[in-house]
Every structure is written in structure tokens, then in C-alpha cells.
Structure 1
């Protein structure tokens, strides 16, 4: 790739930490994200009392998608995933939930190239049911009222403007459309949460992850006109299993192991947020 290739240069709207992590660095290839999904996992169905296998890890990542899709995806409707990564969650949605079509949106052209390669067989077999588009959460490359549901799995911690995202979600959803977002946010009322997280976790210190209470997202959705905005903590199903998996690769005291510590200190938690567009 030449130095003049636009794929090497982030859009002005994309923070450089996010551009590097999901483009050239290819987070999906890191061993801790087994199977190509890029999430911490929902470990409720996994026995944490025995040694974990790669199959357990992939099951946890798929189950996080299932937990979100259960809350959002209607059978027969059109769905969009914001921050789709390799598009494996889009494929899971098509195979298990039966939407008419799924569009995956991601911010980096290299990531979309990987998604198209990872799903090449499905794209060839069902080109009208699966598609990918380049765009940001705050400026979705989609038409008005085109979708019956919008979901996002572990991407909102990167969104720089939650109000803009909420406005775009309201714009692209049809009346009655559902939204489901899962990610990690600071615990409401935790003192100096941003400073403490930056001291514990490199992803917050570098600016890759943004420290905000989950109420910021809920308020943004309400401000954009969404109704029935609900927040539920799923931390007990995420953090202990995530740490058990990390223990295979990281020693105690190394920064990735501090996600569990941040949860135990009630600084950080993992949430599912749902809402309906009236």
C-alpha cells in the first residue's frame, strides 16, 4: 500500500486510536478474541470451574450477540449492526434470527474488507440479505426509516458523540423499531471514574475507550425521542469469565486483568441498553 493510499489515513471524524486498532493493528486477529469476534463474551452458559477451551471462548462471544439479538431483532425485519467488525455477528443474526436482511456498518475500510472476505460464501449465496457499509456511528450511511432494528455489540465505548449516535439511530429506524446496545460504561456515581480507569487500564489511558456513565447513553436516546429506554447490568455474566479467559495469556497484575478489578471496585460495569422508536 503506498503512502498516498486513503486507507492509511483516518477520516477526520475517527479518533486515531480507534483507526489504528481496528485497521492496521487488526484487533480481530489477537488470540484473546478467538474465532474472530471482538467482544469480552457472555459466559452464563460456560462452566468457569473447569479449564476453558477455545470452543468455550467462541461460545461466549456468540452468546453475547444472542443476548443482544434476543432483545432487538424481529423475524422478517431489516437489521443494522453498528460496529460490525468481521461481520460474524451479522452472519449469526441471519442464520439464527431470520431477519430479511442485515447491514453491517464499520468505520475502517480494512475492517470491511476483512468482513467481506470472512463472509464471502454467505455474500455469494445470499447477496440481498447481507451487506456492509463504511460509516461512523454518528453519521450512518443509511436512508431514513429503513430498518426495523439497530444493534451494537461492544462498540459504544468508542463512540465520541452519543447524542449524535442516538439521533442517527432514531433517523434510520422505522416507527416501532427496536435498539439494543451492549458495552462497558462507568458505574453511576463512581468518583473520579475516568482518572481511576486510566490508572488501571491502558485502553482508557490511551483514549481508545471513553469513560462515561451508562446514563449518558440512556439520556441521549431519550433526547432523540426513543421510548421505553431500559438499562440492565450484565457484568456478572461478563467480567468473571473474561478474566478467567485472560488468565491463560496474562499474568495477575498486568493491565488486561484489571477489568475484573475495575468491576469489583465498582468503577466499571457491562450493560445492555434497549429502547424503542415510537
Structure 2
């Protein structure tokens, strides 16, 4: 793939704008978080980091023992902190973070320089896209993606590529938010949320993605809606972090109105 053909909104958001510096995020992670067990009376930036780490842990726990023999790739790794956490806390055999944006790969290598030096043969960051993963056929035991798939222009190729690089019995784990089915849902999301209006987020539906996974050869597709652990906690943090009326505060009402939801999806090759 020619990495110069990154969608303009993605290039800007993760390039010069560096989304990880936005007030709604903290600590270099870029996800909405799993807020289970976090006191929401007055959430701190440290709580925000914890929520983002917890979302990674929730996804990574899906991969079964013996993890020390499990070779993983993260698709849409951003600044690479989640891939480093996966290796540090779960002791996988290897973790390779993949991102379409060269600025993010550069940041990942800089931010995680010590981890890369400590695990030179087990942690890596490389350019690649969801529709053209930089791995040989059947070379991985697991593929995971934490809150990146909403940016992929389409998910059919992601499903097909994940199936290609996974060995038989390998696992795919995806966390992200999906749009509800319906003729007017996409337009309503564009009205409420700037990330949909400018094309950064794509209103993929869960049903279309599970259909793509089945067509690619995945079995045992399991879907867990985790919106209650994501949206209320995120919104409580945003209430103290962004200006009143900021568009990000519309994620919670969009969820409550049934326009979108957050899911943890797993599938077996």
C-alpha cells in the first residue's frame, strides 16, 4: 500500500494535530476507556489513563494461555503504549504494533524506546494498513485492535487480511464503537458528532462486520456490548475537561438514543 494515501482527516488528526494531546485523552493512549471500578465523583487524569489501560487489558485477556508462545499484532497501534503494555503485563512471545500513519510509528518508537531496547526481538512497530497487513500468511497467533476500526474506510479487507495472517485457531479481538443499523443513523451521527461529520469515524455496523468475518472464514464470533462501562465514565471525565457544549459530550446521548454502542468482539480463525 502507498502510505501517502492516508485519508486527509486521519493524516491531520494523528499527524500535526497529534490527537493524544487532546484534553479528552491523557497519558499518550487514545481510547475512550473501560471505567469499571473507577470512582467517578471527580475523575483525575490518572483515572483517565487507568481507564485506557483497562480497555487494553479487557481485550488482551481474551488470548488464552500459554501466552508466552503467542505472537500478536496490534492494528492501529497509535503511539504504541498498548502494545508495550501487552508485552510487559501479559508476557506474550512477541507483539508488533502496526499503524498507517508514519508519524505515529515514529512516536511509538520514541515513546517506547526503553521497552524496544529491553525486548529487541519481541516488540516492534511498523508501517502497515488494515487492508494490507505486513505479515506472511498464517504467521500470527492473534490480532487485536483497540478503538481503531472506526477509522478504517471499510472492514471487509480488514477481516480478510486478519484471516490471512492468522494461523488456524488464531484469535481476532476488536474493541470499537459501531453504528446502529438504520437508514438515517449515519446522518444523525454526522449531526451530533464532528468525528463522523468530517469523515474521521465511519458508521460501520456490527452486523456488516460479523458478516465480513464469517465470509473471511472466522468462526465462533462473539460480541459483548460494553457501552455501560465506557460512555458514562467517559462523559463524566469530559464534563470536567472540555468546554460545556463540546461535541464530544454527544457520545453519551448518542448511545442512550441507540445510535451507536461500544463492543468487544472476538473471533476464531
Give the TM-score of the pair, scaled to structure 2.
0.96
Matching residue within 93, 110, 123 for 2:103: 110
Partners of 1:264 and 1:181 in 2: how far apart?
Answer: 22
CA contact (8 A) 2:23 2:242 kept: no
Match of 1:147 in 2: 140
Matching residue within 93, 103, 115 for 1:122: 115
- 1:223-256 CA distance string (max 9 Å, x none): 1000001111000000000101111122443211
CA contact (8 A) 1:10 1:16 kept: no
Give the ranges of 4+ consecutive aligned residues of structure 1 lying more than 4 Å apart after TM superposition.
none
What secondary structure sits across from 1:72 in the alignment?
Answer: coil
Partners of 2:170 and 2:155 in 1: how far apart?
Answer: 19
Partners of 1:38 and 1:250 in 2: how far apart?
Answer: 16
Partners of 1:217 and 1:41 in 2: how far apart?
Answer: 22
Partners of 2:64 and 2:207 in 1: how far apart?
Answer: 23
How well do the aligned residues superpose, as a CA RMSD in angstroms? Answer: 1.3
Partners of 2:107 and 2:191 in 1: how far apart?
Answer: 33
CA contact (8 A) 2:76 2:146 kept: yes
Is it true that 1:247 corresponds to 2:244 in the alignment?
no
1:107, CA displacement in angstroms? 0.6
| 243-252 or 96-105, larger mean C-alpha shift | 243-252
CA contact (8 A) 1:72 1:150 kept: no
1:65, CA displacement in angstroms? 0.3
Partners of 2:19 and 2:168 in 1: how far apart?
Answer: 35
Is it true that 1:197 corresponds to 2:222 in the alignment?
no
CA contact (8 A) 2:24 2:242 kept: no
Unpaired segments of 5 or more residues in structure 1? Answer: 1-8
Match of 1:233 in 2: 225
Is it true that 1:131 corresponds to 2:129 in the alignment?
no
What secondary structure sits across from 2:202 in the alignment?
Answer: coil
Match of 1:177 in 2: 170
CA contact (8 A) 1:147 1:172 kept: yes
Partners of 1:25 and 1:223 in 2: how far apart?
Answer: 37
Partners of 1:269 and 1:61 in 2: how far apart?
Answer: 17
Match of 2:52 in 1: 61
Unpaired segments of 5 or more residues in structure 2? Answer: none
